[in-house]
Amino acid sequence: DGVCYMALFDAYYPRKLAFHYLEDLHRDCHNSYGPVMHTIANPHALSRIEFIINGIRKLYLDTRTQANLAKLKAGGGQIQEIPTQDISDFLFSQKES
């Protein structure tokens, strides 16, 4: 849909839940602001969707909730193929650019 969603997680956070978080974020943002998402030109404009981001974030804070455990147990997808990168590698590569 022309929007890239990216998030940083602790190394111990389950990849599968991280993937579900990004899917939920995409779905809710697209449903609420899909037609105008392409007009967001700077980070300050994201304050319009901050309540969506915070709401979804709260759902995924505790990996042990029944909903999150169900997502972890559910089958499907090759989630282990999600690209990951150590934050220090990412930050150092940005400085060199």
pLDDT at 17: 92
Contact between 33 and 49 under an 8 Å Cβ cutoff? The reply is yes
User: Using one digit for the tens of pLDDT, what is the confidence trace for 5-64?
Assistant: 888 888 889 988 998 999 999 999 888 887 777 777 777 767 778 888 899 999 999 999
Q: pLDDT higher for 94 or 51?
A: 51
Please give the torsion angle defined by the CA atoms of residues 75, 58, 5 and 81, in that order, rounded to the nearest 10 degrees.
Answer: -30
pLDDT at 81: 59
Query: Is the pTM here over 0.75, yes or no?
Result: no
pLDDT at 91: 65
- The string of DSSP codes covering 9-77 is --TTS-HHHHHHHHHHHHHHHHHHHGGGGGG--SGGGGGGGHHHHHHHHHHHS-TTSHHHHHHHH---S
